[in-house]
Amino acid sequence: MSHARTVLWLSRPLRPARILCRAQFMEQKAQGPPSPPAMENGTRPCEERPPAAPEATITEGAAKIVFPNANEVFYNPVQEFNRDLTCAVITEFARTHLGAKGIQIKVPGEKDLQKVCVNLSEQEEEKAEQKEDENLTPGGQPRTAAVGEICEEGLRVLEGLAASGLRSIRFALEIPGLQSVVANDASARAVELIDRNVHLNGVAHLVQPNQADARMLMYQHQKASERFDVIDLDPYGSPAPFLDAAVQAVSDGGLLCVTCTDMAVLAGNSGETCYSKYGAMALKSRACHEMALRIVLHSLDLHANCYQRFVVPLLSISADFYVRVFVRVFTGQAKVKSSASKQALVYQCVGCGAFYLQRLGRASGDPAGRVKFSAACGPPVTPECEHCGQRHQLGGPMWADPIHDLDFVGRVLEAVTTNPGRFHTSKRIQGVLSVVTEELPDVPLYYTLDHLSSTIHCNTPSLLQLRSALLHAGFRVSLSHACKNAVKTDAPPLALWDIMRCWEKECPVKRERLSETSPAFRILAVEPRLKANFNIREDANPSSRQQGLKRFQANPEANWGPRPRARPGGKAARKDLEERRRLLQNKRKEPAEDPAQRAARLKTFPCKRFKEGTCQRGDQCCYSHSPTAPVASADAPLTDCPETTPKILPGPEAAGGGTAGPGVD
């Protein structure tokens, strides 16, 4: 085929399209240039641009944020406690970090406190004077850092998933001693909103909006000179994809703040999913919230160990529908070797719930002061539970060392207590941190009061009675911020069950109702070796409980919890969203049955004891005593009369031969 014929053959299908384009061009030329909205949208002038989504303005802390009502950018007001606590922790970290450089920070609302040094030797006095002279400005005043000002030696902060930019803007407006804050998000719509909110609050000199994948951004800052001093990760769901990059991008001794909202995975509903994300098996137990914290810490330390780094927990909180951890990341090959001795497996009995920890490694010292690392010996349990004879479940590995730095937590608590007007949730922060300071730092996991009593089917003792019995027996005991009825103690399970056996003697259980293979029967069949004393002790009531602090907050608002994931264009934000939530609540519960209908339905069942000749209820029996009783449907359960019907005292109607309907539950 010749070249001319080829061009002619290719041009024939394009001829109608060219004619159509020429006609459209002449029509547009006659009508004039297109309007700017049409040019931006890339549409023809005849098409109308969809109306912009309505916007809302909220004020939280010192920040004022504008965000669309449509679900284009994620925002959850329930996490105000999370953001307030983060500001308090970073402020105290800045006080420590900049204090080593001789820079004092000025926190709004705090009074200037003068530190007095006593009992200093002459050499220490000279060193202190030299340090003070180095930290003085040319005018003779110590260097200070205030809120909203750029500190050249201050903290470099990264918020990897900024969304509306609220957290970054609050950092700039409430935390002194910052050099820069990078508010990053992968969504272009979110970055536009961040830039708008940054200029609205006048912090453009501190906050830098940035659009990039959070992992790639952190991987680009692996060099020691380019690392961030503080990295905050608050993703929607699991932070697992970002942990490897985060432990490399934080500076030596820097602060890493991580939030996990996938509590269904961390609490044991999907152990295999938890292993794929965090490298540990989660158990479905009463202490699942603290175990979730320890699994996250284990995952962080495991990622850091790959790069000769390790983590030191400062504060670990389980609140509402998420867990939040604050850790410092350090570099040191010698310290990394001890990480195996900080991890442990958990053996938990499926019957009575007793648990035992098995460390993965062992660190021991020799007379020369050297530390020797070796494999741990185990397991700490027999094939069957020594208390109830049931099998054990294996969970972990998890972090087995302390999850809080009590000295650091005490400083944060003191700063919030002396300046309560700084945060809207100051009372809750004081209550939670007070319980944290009262927790036993060297005792992982806990039991719950209701689980101990329900295992042996006895009445539940009061929290003060059980705590007093443990204290009288010589053991330590504390509460846990993760659970209201928690009993955290260093008492072994044998001593704990002895105390519960002594309590059962005061409130006896009917042994004939217990199955011989049940955990309750086997536990109560053993006589207690320990004689428990349930007299209330003064030190059994913790200080936070005596002061009436807000330790465990009730539901903050209606339909609280995780919000729908942000969608481009706000597809998830429909007008009927609240109506759908209302309709889907309690969807699995059957509606209440009318008493008359229930009485008529029960009369369709023949009475078993009437056939045996042992039913003494007569006409008061809710079941049929007729020899030709109708046959019940197959889906209706057959129940026994005395066990399912409440006792009805004979009254005038019963004496007259009337029939009384069954009682309503």
Q: Enter the tokens of residue 152.
A: 């050249």
* Over residues 476-488, mean pLDDT: 93
Model pLDDT for residues 268-315, shown as the tens digit of each residue? 998 999 999 999 999 999 999 999 999 999 999 999 999 999 999 999
* Over residues 567-584, mean pLDDT: 57
Cα 529-530-534 angle, rounded to 5 deg: 145
* Over residues 450-471, mean pLDDT: 93
Could you give the dihedral angle defined by the CA atoms of residues 166, 168, 172 and 175, in that order, rounded to the nearest 10 degrees? 100
List the end-to-end C-alpha distance of the chain, in Å, as a whole number.
Answer: 92
Percent of the chain past pLDDT 90, that is, above it, reads: 55
Long-range CB contact pairs, 45-54, < 8 A, 24+: 53/570
CA atoms within 13 Å, Cβ hemisphere of 485? 11
Model pLDDT for residues 354-399, shown as the tens digit of each residue? 999 999 999 888 777 788 888 898 899 999 999 999 999 999 999 9
The more confidently predicted of residues 608 and 40 is 608
CA atoms within 13 Å, Cβ hemisphere of 358? 17
Average pLDDT of the residues of the chain = 81
Q: What letters, b where the CB count within 10 A reaches 16 and e where it falls short, cover 117-140?
A: eeeeeeeeeeeeeeeeeeeeeeee
Q: Enter the tokens of residue 279.
A: 């490298």
Cα–Cα distance for residue pair 436/12, rounded to 1 Å: 80
User: pLDDT category, 164, cuts 50, 70, 90?
Assistant: confident
Question: SS3 for 145?
Answer: strand
Cα 105-107-111 angle, rounded to 5 deg: 100
Range list of β-strands (E), 163-249: 178-185, 207-211, 228-233
Contact status, residue 219 vs residue 245, Cβ threshold 8 Å: yes
Contact status, residue 403 vs residue 297, Cβ threshold 8 Å: yes
Cα–Cα distance for residue pair 275/397, rounded to 1 Å: 10
Model pLDDT for residues 76-108, shown as the tens digit of each residue? 778 889 999 999 999 999 999 999 989 999 998
Distances 285 to 171, 288, 395 between C-alpha atoms, Å? 37, 5, 10
User: In the predicted model, is pLDDT for residue 440 greater than 50?
Assistant: yes
pLDDT at 115: 40
Determine the longest span between alpha carbons in the chain, in angstroms. Answer: 115
Alpha helices in 507-624 (DSSP H): 519-524, 543-546, 577-584, 595-602, 608-612
* Over residues 427-456, mean pLDDT: 94
Q: What's the whole-model pTM score?
A: 0.75
User: In the predicted model, is pLDDT for residue 480 greater than 90?
Assistant: yes
* Over residues 54-80, mean pLDDT: 75
pLDDT at 599: 85
User: In the predicted model, is pLDDT for residue 463 greater than 80?
Assistant: yes
CATH 3.40.50.300 fits domain 443-547:
no
Query: Quick one: which of 290, 289, 336, 279 has its CA closest to 312?
Result: 336
Model pLDDT for residues 25-54, shown as the tens digit of each residue? 444 444 444 443 333 333 334 434 444 556
Radius of gyration over every alpha carbon of the chain, rounded to an integer in angstroms? 33
- Amino acid letter, residue 131: K
Backbone torsions φ then ψ of 497, nearest 5 degrees: -75, -30
pLDDT at 609: 82
At which residue do the structure tokens 């497996």 appear? 345
User: In the predicted model, is pLDDT for residue 534 greater than 60?
Assistant: yes
pLDDT at 625: 86
User: DSSP string of 586-613?
Assistant: TTTSPPPPPHHHHHHHHTTSBPHHHHHT
Model pLDDT for residues 180-214, shown as the tens digit of each residue? 999 999 989 889 999 999 999 999 999 999 999 99
**Beta-strand relationship, 207-211 and 447-448:** unpaired
The domain locations on the chain are 443-547
Which segment of 34-38, 144-148, 151-155, 245-249 scores lowest on mean pLDDT?
34-38
Percent of the chain past pLDDT 70, that is, above it, reads: 74
User: In the predicted model, is pLDDT for residue 573 greater than 80?
Assistant: no
User: In the predicted model, is pLDDT for residue 576 greater than 70?
Assistant: no
Greatest mean pLDDT among 75-79, 317-321, 438-442, 633-637: 438-442
User: pLDDT category, 557, cuts 50, 70, 90?
Assistant: low
User: In the predicted model, is pLDDT for residue 662 greater than 80?
Assistant: no
User: In the predicted model, is pLDDT for residue 558 greater than 80?
Assistant: no
Distances 664 to 171, 589, 645 between C-alpha atoms, Å? 57, 17, 9
- Amino acid letter, residue 35: S
User: In the predicted model, is pLDDT for residue 659 greater than 70?
Assistant: no
User: In the predicted model, is pLDDT for residue 352 greater than 90?
Assistant: yes
User: In the predicted model, is pLDDT for residue 472 greater than 80?
Assistant: yes
User: pLDDT category, 632, cuts 50, 70, 90?
Assistant: very low
